[in-house]
Amino acid sequence: MNNKIFKSLFISSLTLSYAVGAAECSDVSETIANKIENNYVIPNTATKLSQLIRSKAFLTGCSRLKSAEDIAEFMTLELNKIANDKHLSVVYDPQWVNELKTYRSSAQTEVFTDSRVMEIPTDNYGFKKVEMLDGNIGYLDIRTFSDSHLGGETLENAMKFLQYSDGIIIDLRNNFGGSPFMVTSLASYFFDLDTVHLSTFESRENGVLTKTQDWTSPYVPGPRFKDTPLYILTSSNSASAAEGFSYAMQSLTRATIVGEVTAGAAHARSAEIVNENYILTLPSSRPVDPRTNDNWERKGVKPNIETSSDNAFYVAYAEVLNTLIKSKNSNIAIHQWVYPLVKAKSNRYQPNQNDIDQIIGTYGKRKVFQENGKLFYQYLDDPAFEIELLDKETIIFKAFTEARLQAIYKGKQVISLKMLSVGEDAKEFQRTM
């Protein structure tokens, strides 16, 4: 082929590509600018974003791109230089556009809630576990916040089970969110009859900002826990409604958060069709805390006590017991009994052979010995009981919890073992060998 003809075709191709890119950027940008300007939840930010996306510099940069995927990525990155909002994005996905159009034009939208009624009960409306821990501490593991009109009865039954707890731990480490109505229902159990302002939800549509306040209920079906110490477990996976509950309860100084900084997903977004190829994920509503005038978007909820997600349970368990001991709760004896065991587990102690060797020995008629890698305690010729070191001083029996041993040191040497039993005076046995 003649070089001049080839060069001419090449230049024409570039010109056509540029022209197509420019036209696409212009059309897509204007549609997105309108949607953001009228519906992005923060009005001042909406104005700045729409001005940016209509600017000559933005359109010029967009027009240089060669693929629709690159255009979507460019727009997302540029918008978030201002918004810093992980829910705001431009996505190139013709299949998603088609599916969304089909869904919205069908009867599926009308039966969506009914389908949730059929699906969620298989997960017990998100309530994974309710338990009474040693020391009279209630434990509730919630994996999702279902709509309160669906899971409200399950919540009621869980709270009735926990009604005699001296303290409560709510585990949200594996909770990715759900309904704000269930958040309100759950929070209401931890206050008295005077309603409390939890949050304000701001929604924006067609340039109109609507604010809806969320308050605790003056009535709950079942017991209240207004003075019960409350600890909430979080992880980096705790998101959305799980963060909303944690943030509000922390802001109100009603709960202590233990674990990891949460995901940072506060804004609620909708999927807006731009054209046949693009979708705009648009944050159109957000919660605002009335005390901080802020939320957890991108920041996450920062725990009062930071620790790994794996260790959060024992750290919180020990903390709530210690709090009850300091307050001289009526069950202080049982709290004092359980606390050292839980505290030892929260320290994540790993025994080494030197620590074990310190314990092994004879204590009058009693002895501690090691066999096949396991540690045992024996009185005379009675059956031996397997024991475990929770830390260098705390030793538990594997078969029962009514008694345990405490190693007494002088310097670095164990000089005696103390037998501690529920409801009995301690007995100390001096080391003889």
* 29 within 8 A of 54, measured Cβ to Cβ: yes
Over residues 341-372, the pLDDT tens digits come to 999 999 999 999 999 999 999 999 999 999 99
Q: How far apart are CA 216 and CA 70, in angstroms?
A: 46
Residues 6+ positions from 152 with CB-CB distance below 8 Å:
182, 185, 221
- Report whether pLDDT(381) > 80: yes
Lowest-confidence pick of 116-125, 193-202, 367-376: 116-125
Which pLDDT belongs to residue 86?
80
- Report whether pLDDT(9) > 90: no
Confidence category of residue 104, pLDDT binned at 50, 70, 90 = confident
With H, G, I as helix, E, B as strand and everything else as coil, classify residue 400. coil
Over residues 125-157, the pLDDT tens digits come to 999 999 999 999 999 999 999 988 899 999 999
CATH (one of 3.30.360.10, 3.90.226.10, 3.20.20.70, 3.30.365.10) for 108-326: 3.90.226.10
| Mean pLDDT across the chain | 91
C-alpha angle with apex 86: 80 to 87, nearest 5 degrees?
105
- Report whether pLDDT(246) > 90: yes
Q: Residues 382-387: what's their mean pLDDT?
A: 97
- Bridge partners of 430, per DSSP, are 416
Over residues 198-240, the pLDDT tens digits come to 999 999 999 999 999 999 999 999 999 999 999 999 999 999 9
Which pLDDT belongs to residue 107?
57
Over residues 169-189, the pLDDT tens digits come to 999 999 999 899 999 999 999
Which pLDDT belongs to residue 121?
58
- Report whether pLDDT(313) > 90: yes
- Report whether pLDDT(108) > 90: no
Which pLDDT belongs to residue 122?
64
With H, G, I as helix, E, B as strand and everything else as coil, classify residue 330. coil
Identify which has the larger pLDDT, 374 or 269.
374
Which pLDDT belongs to residue 115?
46
Q: How many CB atoms lie within 10 A of CB 85?
A: 23
* 90 within 8 A of 278, measured Cβ to Cβ: yes
- Bridge partners of 259, per DSSP, are 234, 306
Confidence category of residue 18, pLDDT binned at 50, 70, 90 = very low
Instruction: Show me where the domains of the chain are located.
Output: 3-84, 108-326, 350-430
Return the biggest CA–CA distance within the chain. 106
With H, G, I as helix, E, B as strand and everything else as coil, classify residue 231. strand
Q: How many CB atoms lie within 10 A of CB 9?
A: 11
Percent of the chain predicted with pLDDT > 90: 82
Task: Tell the burial category of 170 from Cβ atoms under 10 Å away from its Cβ (0-12, 13-18, 19+).
Answer: buried
Which pLDDT belongs to residue 21?
61
Give pTM, 2 decimals: 0.83
Complete edge-to-edge strand list for the sheet that includes strand 366-371 = 361-363, 366-371, 374-379, 385-389, 394-397, 403-410, 413-421, 427-430
Q: Residues 27-46: what's their mean pLDDT?
A: 96
